[in-house]
Chains A and B, each alone.
Chain A
């Protein structure tokens, strides 16, 4: 069972918006910065969001994120078939001195 809680799956039609929640605790998300990773089918994970809200170079602004307290949210607008992937949140846990991932959320474009 993952320390960070994500919904197993979300779906929406092309062009629509989806949001993925990531719930943790005061020892991880509540006191650390959150990152998000995209893993397209059969590929290596890619950093999508870091420092809670920042996008690395090359990541389109259709991807956005926020954090409030011990929870974080990833949003994808203008959904495309190429966005079908697994998405993971992650954060450092200051109490355990370990990194924790969510179990992952599969995004399906209907």
Chain B
């Protein structure tokens, strides 16, 4: 059974930093791309970042590029999201998601979702 368990969320002041972790199990972690998707309270889904398998190449949404960094540790089956220079509009539930398919080939599907980690940016 695929499981994705996020941790590291919390309350942070504007300009602060947080590091989210996502521990994965139930599949061969190193073989799959992983992504983060966020959802602000009462709003829709917003894609944040992806890290591909193999070369661990990453892509980011414009809204977080230069502030967030995604990484992975295949030896620990864990993906991370380092969030710096946080702003109020980064407040959201952050989902860790496993990818089915090959995004760079145009086949990018999000088949398993974690329960989410809540990040609140407020003074």
Q: Which residues of A contact B (CB under 8 A)?
A: 2, 31-33, 35, 37, 39, 44-47, 50-51, 56, 86, 88, 90-92, 94, 97-104
Task: Return the 7 tightest CB-CB contacts between A and B, nearest first.
Answer: A32-B106, A50-B109, A92-B108, A104-B44, A99-B47, A35-B109, A44-B113
Of the A-B pairs whose beta carbons lie under 8 Å apart in the complex, a sample of 23, sorted by A's number, is A2-B44, A33-B106, A33-B108, A35-B108, A39-B45, A44-B113, A44-B115, A45-B45, A47-B100, A47-B109, A50-B109, A50-B111, A51-B107, A56-B111, A88-B44, A91-B106, A91-B108, A92-B106, A97-B104, A99-B47, A99-B103, A101-B44, A101-B45
Give Cα A101 to B106, complex, Å. 14
Nearest-CB residue, chain B, relative to A32: B106
Residue of B nearest to A2 (CB): B44
Q: Which B40-93 residues have a C-beta within 8 angstroms of A?
A: 44-47, 50, 59-62
CB distance from B9 to the nearest CB of A (A): 15
Main secondary structure of the interface of A (DSSP, over half): strand
Contact A103 B44 (CB under 8 A): yes
What residues on B are CB-neighbors of A88 within 8 Å?
44-45
Q: In the complex, what's the smallest C-beta–C-beta distance from B16 to chain A, in angstroms? A: 25
A50 touches B101 (CB 8 A): yes
